[in-house]
Amino acid sequence: MENTSIYIHIPFCKHRCAYCDFNTYARQEDSIPLYIKALINEIEAVTSLKPNPINVHTVFFGGGTPSLLSAPQFDSVLQALRAAFTLTADAEISIEANPGTTSPEKLDAIRKAGINRISFGVQSANTEELRMLERIHDFFTVIQSVADARKAGFDRHSYGVNLDLIYGLPEQTLSTWQTTLQRIVDLQPEHISAYALTLEHGTPFGRWSSKGLLPLPDPDVAAEMYEYAEEFLEDSGYVHYEISNWALDRGPLTTDRSSQSTVHRPPSFACKHNLQYWHNLPYLAFGAGAHGYANGYRYSNVLRIKTYIERLSQPSAFRPLPFPLSPATVNQHKQTLKDDMSEYMLNNLRLTNAGVTESDFRLRFRRWLLDVYPKEIEELIQNGLLECKTSEAPANGETSEVYRLTKRGRLLGNQVFVRFV
């Protein structure tokens, strides 16, 4: 039976950051108890539709700020999941947390409840940059939160700690970014994510930028920041396994790009949940604004907390829906083969070491990759954005072509992805 993943959205934040366009709401924490009930109702409603038992190997509480939930609230959602699905013995169960919203007692209790990976939204180690982002923490709070997480057991016997960063920030220089990376590596997290700042329409940052009021670094400097992160993190022992993600590895791993036989397996502390997305494998979604992909559907839930709670307040009135849709679903799309192949390319090419293997593509879609995307692949290789090497397929030792982003392709990923849409 194929393993599935579960995403649970917690749309509450203490304060809305100036760059954020996630589905999250400030000062609505009073609704958390009713929201938890609605989540449990949604889990039960979807489970009642499932055709067969489902193995779940990752659960991800994302947000928003999931760490605003209490340990008993996490526990009740996890109990509902355990009653509804078969959680594998080694399931990765992650939460996103904001530094300063996790007391030692809470960390201890959620670790005991079964959560075994924590991802802190650090963004920067520079006080001025954090202030510009309107984050509620400073870097001393990060140091304390990571120390508390370690004491609670988020360590190398679990799936450890991730620290999220953003680069290309207003007023940021290459030098402040270098200091941030050094301070982050000093904390020895198992996993590091670094995303470029994107200016989203409708956010204060989007508005200030369109009026020329946001002192952003030059795009060439932002590219230098990315290249510096690639070199510095690899020199610090982190394996660059996805465009924006690095992780420690327990065992030997071939990362030599010139090698004709490159190991495909991700590093030990790679995020299993995100690998499910990047491998275009199924995940169920619960919560306001959550997006899922399962049973041939891409689907998403209603955004507003109040409407979400209302839609799930009377489970007895639920009419049967196709699995995995729920009364909260507002968008659903039945995937075509073309959709799946296109998304497979977009997602798998993000994996800098693994890339897209011809034999895996053929196994999944029963089509030759070069028959489906001949022109796209040829042009991307000619333009130096994609490279092709012969490598061993992981399962049967059969040699197969592997397509990966080049160094330039990693910087200009969107120019690659758009060719497969």
Q: Which spans of this chain sit near ligand SF4 (rule: CB under 6 A)?
A: 13, 16-17, 20, 22, 24, 63-65, 98, 121
C-alpha span between 212 and 170 (Å, rounded): 12
Closest CA to 94 of 283, 301, 349: 283
Minimum separation from the CB atom of position 66 to ligand SF4 (A) = 10
How near is the Cβ of 67 to ligand SF4 at its closest, in Å? 10
Is the CA virtual torsion 373, 379, 384, 385 positive or negative? negative
Collapsed DSSP state (helix, strand, coil) of residue 285: strand
287: left (phi over 0), alpha (psi -120 to 50) or beta: left
**Complex with ligand SF4: residue 23 or 245, whichever CB lies closer:** 23
Residues 6 or more apart in contact with residue 234 via CB below 8 angstroms: 240, 246, 255
Question: Which residues, at least 6 apart from 278, have a Cβ–Cβ distance to it below 8 Å?
Answer: 242, 347, 348, 350, 351
Between 15 and 82, name the residue whose CB sits nearer to ligand SF4: 15
Output the smallest distance, CB 244 to ligand SF4, in A. 16
Report the residue number, 162 or 406, with the smaller CB distance to ligand SF4: 162
Q: Tokens for 280, please give them.
A: 């275009």
Q: Report the residue number, 27 or 407, with the smaller CB distance to ligand SF4.
A: 27
Looking at the Cβ atoms of 121 and 217, the one nearer to ligand SF4 is 121
Sign of CA dihedral 88, 77, 137, 147: negative
Residue spans of alpha helices (H) in 170-264:
174-186, 204-210, 219-235
Shortest gap between Cβ of 89 and ligand SF4 (angstroms)? 31
State the minimum distance, in angstroms, from the CB of residue 133 to ligand SF4: 8
Strand, helix or coil at 284?
A: strand
**Residue closer to ligand SF4 (CB basis): 67 or 391:** 67
CB 92 → ligand SF4: shortest distance, Å? 21
The residue (of 17 and 39) whose beta carbon lies closer to ligand SF4 is: 17
Q: How far is the CB of 13 from ligand SF4 (least distance, A)?
A: 3
Q: Give 98 or 244: the residue with its C-beta nearer to ligand SF4.
A: 98
Please check whether residue 352 is in contact with residue 242, taking contact to mean a CB–CB distance below 8 angstroms. yes
Residue in the shown chain whose Cβ atom is closest to ligand SF4? 20
Nearest distance in Å: CB 291, ligand SF4:
15
Residues sharing a CB contact under 8 Å with residue 360, sequence separation 6 or more, in sequence order: 393, 400
